[in-house]
């Protein structure tokens, strides 16, 4: 066996040996150990072989076989020597290898290492314990920590190993950075302490507090290890004691009258449930209270407020546990020792802490009751004062805490004195609380009138009620009325005497209060007495409403005044006003009216016809036929006459308009009635399907149905009866306007139900109306605009006579093509044109000019507001949208120069503006981001003009960087803007370098300026790199200035500046070529350490380049 061990050892030491040969030799040795005695001369060699085999990385089978060999070797040596002397001497050399394998990535290897520790534990107990506790559980490898914790549990369960020495190390792992280790530690502690004695569990609780284990993990562990029997016992003991007290109280006389209904109710359910803490001994409770007073010493600071809050929460949990009942004396002594601290927490400016302190006092009052009497005076003084604070949550908490004290503690005359003082307080908020507290006292003392009256409480109660009912604050009066009726239930005679002293108004309000049992009777009497007055008031209101309705009708029936003429007379179509024929009894019925009445007849536009019965019925009100009706335009505002692309008149238009109402143009033209033809816009189904559609404005082609004006937005039903029509003049051409009108009616027909669109046989048989072959552009969609269209008759002005300011109707898309054309721009009179190819160049040009003028005004206003620093973030976005437009708004570059100058000044002086210092940080950050975004837009869209501004913008960006902390989105925007400039600075790199070099001396040396300085040095390095890439010559003078600037900042206090400066100097060093002496001459007087660091970086940069 000596030879085998020596051969194996030499093989394991040779890296070139194959893994199979090593494994074969190791298995052979293991087999001999299992069957034969191990000589003492070979034991050390075998342990050395096992150590080398465990550390083998080439094959996991070798390490697994080594651990198996170790187990058999330990057993064999134990058989040969029961004391295990050889194991004690030789096994410690295996500790490093086994510890390393405890953190192996393979689970099987970790299990084998853990088993090896189990085999060696009986012989090397202290060494194994030290290694597991200090090296494995407290080590740096998370897998080793997990394996060590699991080994402790395994040894305790299988070998009954005591685990007390490991508890502290395992508890520390509950806050481990690795989640698996935390979970393993929690589960192992639960298993270890599940059946542990109570003293051991108490020790675990202390350890959890010492290591500040988070509350969620602590609660889970304690909930799992708490035995149900002890928990039920501790919970049943207070219940049994309470039941015994109730049995004693039941024998008392007048028990029902002595117990208040509110006091009998359980406390309100907690928003955040808290687990109670059950203590096992008085010493444990004393220790808990002994740890608290140091936290409450002195004023509240950032260091002690968290321990204070935790102490208050622990007191609340103790109050819910068994301490107040089982260890009452010790608990009361502890509460007394920390009472000053409780008041400090309750009066804290931190709302959550203050609320916790108030809730603790409330729970103490409910739980301890009269036992809190020694502390009542100081508590009332503090919490009555708290009820007057301006913070609503704190004031409400103080009010509820005082109420809990009045409700649960023993009554004393001092309580009524406190309420009387509160009722007289200068603060109305305290006076509003006094009635609530008074009601609590009155409810409690209604069964003890003799004691209450004899102690002077009744007199103070009367004074409080009188004072509150006369209070100038209505809320105080209202609250005191409720207290009065509570007082009246117990002392009705005294209450009547108080009411008799009130004035009639206050007495009536008191009687009508909702807390009055007879309030309904008083309300009914008052309602009967006031019925006549209300009826009179209602009649007057109805008369006023009717009068206002008549005025609105009269206003709507009246005609509007003529629209004033102005220089913008061509902006929107105006309807010519003529004397109405309404008073003469004559009316020209429209085709739309007659479409639903077969008896109606269309008269010639040159004759004056008398209204038929059908037309008389078609007056106001009957004009709204079936079909969707759009609200008419508001007639209140008289707008100037405006023109649109179709306001020009055609020289030849002999055809009569589709409708002429009394409020429209006078009859004109000649026409002949042809009763055999229908006037339907769609003459036949074939015609309807074959007519192409085109984009149009429906308001421009549908006649108005209102009586006052010529056009409205009524879409009538299509006719279903043959109607008379007019013969066309041979000279008349088919107007695009007429085509638009008919097309709109066709679309309306397509949207109506099939039954309403049915066509009579006579209509189908009617011949189609003859029209000129007009080419119509295909329509993609029907667009509805607001301005109605009126084709005014008369000759269209020539190009020289047109108004200058011509615009499209309101809200119309100016990019759409005009549906019609002006005859003046056509090929001849009446010649049809393809509407898809026609666009009015005059109108398009005028619209573009208007758009340009509007954008120029917006741009000018934006520049002025940027200079005044009054432009908000939305304004910056508007200016950016204007700058992105393709219109000529820059006036030959003048506006661009003004805008860039204003932006540069804005960025440079942003932090010096006192107005911005008053804004929230988020708003100032938004303004900087928008200004930088606008600057980048101008630089990217107008690159030729931007070259002259690169240097100034860089200086502005550096000044803006000076006032920005951290590395948020504002810094990202600043760096992005600077990067864009550096990327574009091909021909302006030298100017940018000069500007930055000139800017750096003006920066003051402080923390905020260091950010700007570091960024400036970084930009210089980037500009130098860009210039070197383009082989640009910077000149010797500029290089010297750069080196001088670099030498100046090499000794800067800020590490960020020094780092950027070293990188710049390293970049600059390469530009000097052979004249390196000029470079080093500028660093005379610089610290040797800094120069050494610079030399190191320059040398490293040279090696990297090589």
> Would you state the pLDDT for residue 511?
87
pLDDT digits (tens, 9 = 90+) for 354-386: 999 999 999 999 999 999 999 999 999 999 999
Residues in the chain: 1106
pLDDT of residue 454: 84
Separation of CA 1059 from chain center: 38
The residue with tokens 């819910």 is 320
Residues 6+ apart with CB under 8 A from 62: 19, 22, 23, 26, 53, 56
Burial of 851 (0-12, 13-18, 19+ CB in 10 A): middle
Q: Find, among 308, 332, 337, the residue nearest to 318 by Cα.
A: 332
On the question of a common fold for 291-517 and 985-1106, the answer reads yes
Q: Which residue has the higher pLDDT, 491 or 663?
A: 491
Long-range pairs of 129-137 with CB within 8 A, sequence gap ≥ 24? 129/165, 129/166, 131/95, 131/99, 132/166, 133/165, 133/166, 133/169, 134/169, 135/99, 136/99, 136/102, 137/166, 137/169, 137/170, 137/173
Distance from C-alpha of 585 to C-alpha of 601, rounded to nearest angstrom: 16
Return the pLDDT at 272: 57
Structure tokens at 285: 């409770």
CA 1054 → CA 637, 682, 1046, 1057, distances in Å?
Answer: 68, 86, 14, 5
| Cβ proximity of 76 and 34 under 8 Å | yes
Residues 6+ apart with CB under 8 A from 587: 581, 611, 615, 619, 661, 662
State how far the alpha carbon of 709 is from the alpha carbons of 440, 571, 600, 774, 789, in Å.
74, 19, 22, 31, 12
Name which of 4-13, 283-292, 536-545, 763-772 the model is least confident about.
763-772
Q: Which two tokens stand for residue 42?
A: 């070979």
Torsion angle, alpha carbons of 581, 584, 586, 588, to 10: 0
Instruction: Report the share of the chain in percent with pLDDT over 70.
Output: 66
What global pTM score does this model have? 0.35
| CATH class of the structural domain 985-1106 | mainly alpha
**pLDDT at site 604:** 35
Q: Lowest mean pLDDT: which of 126-135, 337-346, 418-427, 700-709?
A: 700-709
H runs (alpha helix) in 567-726: 591-594, 613-616, 685-690, 698-701
pLDDT at residue 685 is higher than 90: no
Task: Say what the pLDDT of residue 756 is.
Answer: 41
The three-class DSSP label of residue 629 is: strand
* Cα–Cα distance, 882 to 873 (Å, whole number): 15
Average pLDDT over residues 220-229: 75
Residue 631: which pLDDT band, with cuts at 50, 70 and 90? low
* List of residues 6+ apart from 475 with CB closer than 8 A: 428, 432
Relative orientation angle of helices 198-210 and 215-225, to the nearest 10 degrees: 180
Tokens of 550: 């008549």
Residue of 349, 291, 297, 298 lying closest to 315 (CA atoms): 291
Looking at domain 291-517, its CATH architecture is Alpha Horseshoe (1.25)
Nearest partner of 860 among 886, 846, 878, judged by Cα: 878
Instruction: Give the span between the Cα atoms of 25 and 4, in whole angstroms.
Output: 8
Does pLDDT of 1072 surpass 80?
A: no
454 C-beta neighbours (distance < 10 Å), count: 11
- Is the Cβ–Cβ distance between 625 and 614 less than 8 Å? no
Of 793-807, 885-899, 1023-1037, the range with the lowest mean pLDDT is 793-807
DSSP state of 809: S
Quick: pLDDT tens for 267-292. Answer: 454 555 678 888 888 888 999 999 99
Residues 161-220 pLDDT 10s: 998 899 999 999 998 888 899 999 999 999 999 888 888 888 888 888 888 888 888 888
Q: Is the pLDDT of residue 85 over 50?
A: yes
Best-predicted range by mean pLDDT (288-302, 610-624, 643-657, 749-763): 288-302
**For residue 186, what pLDDT is reported?**
92
Q: Is the pLDDT of residue 110 over 70?
A: yes
CATH topology of domain 124-225: 1.25.10
State percent of the chain over pLDDT 90: 20
Burial of residue 1003, with CB atoms counted within 10 A of its CB: 0-12 exposed, 13-18 middle, 19 or more buried: middle
Handedness of CA 736, 738, 740, 746 (dihedral sign): negative
Residue 409, classed as helix, strand or coil, is coil
Q: Angle, to 10 degrees, between the axis of helix 413-423 and the axis of helix 428-445?
A: 150
CA 313 remoteness from chain centre: 32
481: DSSP letter = H
Return the CA Rg of the chain. 50
Residue 981 CB contacts under 8 Å (≥ 6 apart), including other chains: 939, 950, 953, 954, 957, 992
> Among 129-133, 535-539, 883-887, which range has the highest average pLDDT?
129-133
Mean pLDDT, all residues of the chain: 72
| Residue 540 predicted with pLDDT over 60 | yes
Kindly list the domain boundaries of the chain, sorted by start residue. 1-121, 124-225, 291-517, 985-1106
**What is the tally of helices (H) and strands (E) in the chain?**
53, 2
Cβ count near 969 (within 10 Å): 11
């Amino acid at each position: 066996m000596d030879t085998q061990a020596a051969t194996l050892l030499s093989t394991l030491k040779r890296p070139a040996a194959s893994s199979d040969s090593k494994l074969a030799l190791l298995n052979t040795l293991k087999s001999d150990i299992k069957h034969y005695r191990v000589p003492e001369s070979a034991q050390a060699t075998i342990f050395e072989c096992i150590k080398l085999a465990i550390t083998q990385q080439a094959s996991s089978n070798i390490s697994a076989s080594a651990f198996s060999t170790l187990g058999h070797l330990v057993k064999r040596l134990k058989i040969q020597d029961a004391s295990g002397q050889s194991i004690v001497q030789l096994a410690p050399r295996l500790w490093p290898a086994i510890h390393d394998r405890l953190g192996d990535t393979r689970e099987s290897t970790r299990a084998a290492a853990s088993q090896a520790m189990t085999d060696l534990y009986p012989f090397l107990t202290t060494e194994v314990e030290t290694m597991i506790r200090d090296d494995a559980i407290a080590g740096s490898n998370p897998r080793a920590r997990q394996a060590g914790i699991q080994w402790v549990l395994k040894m305790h369960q299988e070998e009954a190993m005591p685990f007390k020495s490991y508890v502290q190390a395992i508890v520390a792992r509950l806050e481990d950075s690795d989640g698996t280790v935390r979970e393993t530690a929690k589960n192992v502690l639960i298993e270890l302490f599940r059946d542990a004695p109570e003293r051991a569990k108490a020790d675990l609780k202390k350890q959890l507090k010492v290591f500040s284990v988070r509350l969620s993990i602590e609660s889970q562990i304690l909930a799992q290890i708490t035995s149900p029997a002890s928990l039920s016992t501790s919970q049943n003991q207070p219940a049994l004691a309470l039941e015994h007290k109730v049995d004693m109280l039941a024998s008392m006389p007048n028990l029902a009258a002595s117990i208040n209904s509110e006091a009998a109710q359980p406390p309100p359910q907690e928003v955040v449930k808290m687990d109670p803490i059950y203590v096992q001994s008085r010493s444990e409770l004393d220790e808990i209270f002994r740890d608290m007073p140091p936290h409450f010493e002195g004023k509240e600071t950032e260091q002690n407020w968290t321990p204070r809050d935790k102490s208050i929460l622990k007191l609340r949990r103790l109050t819910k546990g068994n301490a107040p009942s089982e260890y009452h004396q010790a608990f009361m002594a502890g509460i007394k020792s920390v009472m000053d601290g409780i008041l400090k927490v309750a009066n804290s400016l931190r709302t959550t802490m203050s609320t916790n302190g108030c809730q603790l006092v409330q729970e103490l009052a409910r739980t301890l009751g009269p036992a809190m009497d020694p502390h009542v005076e100081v508590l009332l003084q503090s919490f009555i004062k708290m009820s007057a604070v301006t913070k609503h949550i704190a004031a409400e908490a103080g009010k509820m805490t005082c109420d809990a004290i009045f409700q649960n503690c023993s009554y004393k005359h001092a309580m009524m004195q406190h309420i009387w003082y509160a009722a007289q307080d200068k603060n109305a908020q305290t006076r509003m609380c006094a009635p609530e507290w008074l009601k609590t006292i009155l409810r409690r003392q209604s069964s003890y009138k003799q004691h209450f009256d004899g102690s002077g409480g009744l007199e103070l109660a009367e004074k409080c009620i009188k004072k509150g009912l006369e209070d100038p604050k209505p809320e105080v009066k209202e609250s005191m009325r409720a207290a009065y009726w509570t007082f009246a239930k117990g002392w009705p005679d005294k209450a009547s005497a108080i009411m008799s002293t009130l004035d009639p108004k206050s007495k009536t309000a008191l009687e009508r209060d909702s807390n009055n049992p007879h309030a309904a009777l008083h309300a009914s009497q008052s309602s009967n007495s006031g019925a006549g007055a209300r009826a009179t008031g209602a009649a007057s209101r109805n008369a006023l409403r009717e009068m206002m309705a008549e005025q609105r009708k009269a206003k709507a029936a009246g005609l509007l005044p003529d629209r004033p003429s102005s220089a913008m007379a061509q902006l929107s179509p105006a309807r010519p006003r003529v004397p109405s024929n309404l008073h003469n009894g004559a009316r020209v019925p429209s085709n739309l009216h007659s479409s639903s009445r077969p008896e109606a007849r269309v008269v010639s536009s040159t004759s004056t016809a008398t209204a038929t019965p059908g037309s008389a019925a078609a007056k106001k009100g009957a004009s709204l036929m079936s079909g969707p009706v759009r609200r008419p335009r508001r007639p209140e505002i008289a707008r100037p006459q405006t023109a649109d692309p179709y306001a020009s008149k055609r020289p030849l238009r002999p055809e009569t308009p589709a409708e002429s109402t009394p409020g429209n143009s006078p009859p004109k033209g000649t026409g002949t009635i042809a009763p055999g033809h229908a006037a339907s816009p769609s003459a036949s189904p074939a015609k309807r399907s074959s007519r192409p559609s085109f984009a149009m404005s429906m308001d421009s082609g549908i006649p108005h149905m209102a009586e006052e004006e010529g056009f409205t937005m009524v879409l009538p039903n299509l006719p279903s009866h043959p109607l008379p029509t007019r013969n066309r003049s041979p000279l008349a051409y088919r107007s695009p306007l007429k085509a638009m009108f008919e097309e709109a009616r066709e679309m309306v027909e397509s949207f109506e139900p099939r039954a309403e669109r049915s066509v009579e046989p006579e209509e189908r048989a009617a011949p189609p109306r003859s029209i000129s072959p007009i080419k119509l552009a295909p329509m993609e969609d029907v667009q509805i605009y607001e301005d109605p269209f009126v084709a005014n008759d008369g000759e269209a002005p020539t190009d020289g006579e047109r108004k200058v300011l011509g615009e499209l109707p309101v809200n119309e898309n100016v990019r759409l093509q005009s549906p019609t054309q002006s005859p003046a721009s056509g090929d001849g009179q009446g010649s049809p044109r393809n509407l898809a190819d026609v666009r009015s160049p005059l109108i398009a040009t005028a619209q573009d000019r208007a758009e340009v003028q509007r954008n120029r005004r917006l741009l000018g206003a934006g520049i002025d507001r940027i200079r005044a620093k009054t432009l908000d973030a939305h304004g910056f976005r508007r200016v950016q949208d204007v700058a992105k437009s393709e219109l000529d708004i820059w006036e030959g570059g003048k506006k661009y120069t003004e805008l860039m100058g204003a932006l540069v000044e804005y960025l440079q002086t942003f932090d010096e503006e006192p107005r911005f210092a008053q804004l929230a940080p988020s708003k100032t950050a938004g303004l900087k981001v928008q200004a930088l975004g606008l600057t980048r837009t101008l630089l990217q869209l107008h690159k030729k003009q931007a070259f002259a501004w690169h240097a100034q913008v860089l200086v502005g960006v550096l000044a803006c960087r000076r006032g920005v902390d951290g590395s948020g989105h504002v810094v990202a925007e600043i760096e992005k803007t600077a990067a864009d400039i550096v990327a574009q600075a091909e021909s302006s790199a030298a100017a940018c370098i000069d500007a930055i070099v000139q800017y750096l001396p003006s920066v003051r040396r402080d923390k905020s300026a260091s950010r700007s300085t570091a960024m400036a040095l970084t930009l210089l390095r980037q500009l130098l790199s860009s210039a070197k890439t383009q082989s640009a010559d910077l000149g010797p003078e500029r290089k010297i200035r750069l080196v001088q600037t670099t030498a100046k900042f090499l000794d800067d206090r800020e590490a960020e500046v020094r780092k950027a400066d070293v990188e710049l100097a390293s970049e600059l060093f390469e530009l000097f070529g052979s004249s390196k002496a000029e470079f080093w001459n500028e660093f005379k007087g610089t610290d040797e350490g800094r120069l050494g660091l610079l030399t190191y970086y320059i040398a490293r940069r040279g090696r990297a380049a090589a």
